[in-house]
Chains A and B, each alone.
Chain A
């Protein structure tokens, strides 16, 4: 190791880098689209994690209604993620002039002519129609787990 560090190459290069840095680009600037990209990558990561979770629940063959609701949650959440992913893309492609407020925010219109991007944007804006059932499935799944365990304890006490 010592022989490697004392090699003539390093003995020349290291002082050169220290005394003549030039544009070393030590800190990278994160521009505007990067946030969207990170968010989209997070969606993809979430989709992968949900799929893996779903597969693992099936693999482990845990029985009971709770596990079924949890699988349903995974499927709905995956759908939501896809919907959100697509919605974000559609939002990015939607021209800012496509949405117009007549006199108030609540009277906002998506202007004609309607394109596929506009339709997709509109439909994906209704993502809570999937997200809420997914969260409901998570809720009843955990409640089911809780009741089954509580029943076990009750049975054990008897």
Chain B
């Protein structure tokens, strides 16, 4: 009996089945580990199921083959015949399952690719969104910084302009289109005589003394958009006038319509007064020169007239009519010589002494001379002498004459009043190096229109025959000669801002050292 032995096929079948069990199990193990490493990865998940099906088929087949070989070898062929349909059926089922799972690979991968693409798109979108968010965040942060920086700049700028507005010594105000003043600085209020914490409701009509000036103000703003160096007179709260120089700019809305103005007004009152005083000084200087010439020419014939009159008086009896007439001539000639002497003093033609003078002593002497007549007129004298007042260089007689003149004028100003007060005060302005002597009365005061004339020679408000009009002129000349000045304040402005009736004459004299230096120069 010849034939081909089937033993090799049996050996291959058994060993192959064992190896299949090993390799399929290892494959399934790695597939499982892959899914553990990448639980969210579809591909490895799918491969795990493919491997599971393949392993199930391989195990089913290998176990079936091994069982068959064992049953055949052990002689239990019938038992195998009972099991064989089940083994074969399971094999077929597993094979179909493997095939089915593999077929789905294509669609699975397509789905996976689609998901991956969408995921990539989402990832890209997320990256872009993150980038955009970061840019926005950065922009936002920068914006906050920029806004903060700009706000700080604006705040600083606002602070500066607010300081300029509040600290300016000139009047600064804003108006609306109805000429109402919306805001005005403290200097402006002070200039108008209001307290700095006052908030008066004012319009330009209340401000300008001249109504035509308000119209001119509005017209200029509409026509030119600005006003430059307009001289105007403002009404103060107490009705007095303050002279101002105005510069203004129109404010516009989005339709280029004037909605108001911003205005700066500079107080010119002091400058104007100084100018008037300068003009007056010049005028008096020329009058003084003329008076000096006239006085010099008249002085000689007056001396001759007086001499001859006195000689002739010796030739007549004192009780004769001629003698009495000569006495009248002598007296009038003496009076004329006094006038001429005053004129010469005014024009500084007369000689004067130079020595250290204590102004306190001058005041005390002057009060002693005039106190009696002042008391008769119920005028109370207040003498406030500064301690340790430095001396000035000058002629004590002339200075005494000036003070007596001023006291007499004050007395005259308080004539007719039931009672009056005369305040005499000296003080030392250390910073300026000046001695200040003030004579203040509570009289009628001096009208604005005659303030500029009071130092003019022969100008007087006294009745004819009661004054020569040379008192203040001479005083002015003397003080000028001493390097000082005379200032007038009427009505009197107190340091606390209040205004009281009366007149104040302020003599400002340089202290001794400075005066000497000036004279040496």
Contact = CB atoms under 8 A, between A and B. Distances in A.
A100 B1 contact: yes
Interface of A: 35, 38-39, 42-43, 45-46, 48-50, 52-53, 56, 60, 99-100, 102, 104-112, 114, 118, 122, 125-129, 131-132, 135-136, 138-139, 142-143, 145-146, 149-150, 153
Which 7 A-B pairs give the minimum distances between C-beta atoms? A128-B16, A109-B3, A49-B99, A125-B9, A49-B102, A135-B23, A142-B30
Given A105-B72, A122-B4, A145-B30, A35 B89 contact: yes
B465 interface: no
B5 A108 contact: yes
B37 A49 contact: no
Nearest to A48: B99
A60 B107 CA distance: 12
A131 B3 CA distance: 26
Nearest to A51: B102
Contacts of B518: none
Contacts of B109: 56, 60
B105 interface: yes
B116 to A, nearest CB: 11
Contacts of A53: 102-103, 105
17 contacts: A35-B92, A39-B88, A42-B95, A46-B98, A104-B73, A105-B72, A106-B10, A109-B1, A111-B2, A125-B12, A129-B16, A131-B20, A135-B19, A142-B34, A142-B51, A145-B47, A150-B37
A146 B30 contact: yes
A151 to B, nearest CB: 11
Interface string B66-88: 00000011010000000001001
B47 A122 contact: no
Interface string B28-55: 0011011001100000100100010010
B246 interface: no
B163 interface: no
B6 A136 contact: no
B141 to A, nearest CB: 32
A46 B95 contact: yes
A41 to B, nearest CB: 9
B13 interface: yes
